[in-house]
Amino acid sequence: MYAVTVTFVTKPDQFDMFLPLVLENARTSLELERGCHRFDVCTDPELPERVFLYELYDDRAAFDLHLKSSHFRSFDTAIGSMIADKRVHCFSNVEG
């Protein structure tokens, strides 16, 4: 498995516009992308402008397909002006 975490910080007045877009992106990714197994959208009530994503893919290639998908590209374009900060971290499964 290949795990991806993303932390968004929205601009103060943009959270209510951002949240439905990220939820739609998550739903569409799970429905259309065979290599996407999990796509959680999490928030912290004490930090209302922060959104945390936890995504699981088959492998890096499946994540790369996600990044090239039309629904992701549309999402990424739509949220550009809403985001104050974005941090992405990728993790590969450690074989023991």
CA trace torsion 67, 27, 71, 22 (10° rounding): -80
Tokens, residue 30? 């799970």
pLDDT of residue 96: 63
Which domain does 44 fall in, by range? Answer: 2-92
Q: Name residue 57's beta-bridge partners.
A: 2, 36
Q: Which phi and psi (to 5°) does residue 29 adopt?
A: -60, -45
Domain with residue 37: its CATH number is 3.30.70.100
Pick from 3-7, 38-42, 43-47, 76-80: least confident? 43-47
First-to-last alpha carbon distance for the chain, in angstroms, is: 14
Q: What is the pLDDT of residues 52-96, one digit of tens each?
A: 999 999 999 999 999 999 999 999 999 999 999 999 999 998 776
Number of domain units in the chain:
1
Tokens, residue 10? 């929205």
Report the percentage of the chain scoring pLDDT > 90: 93
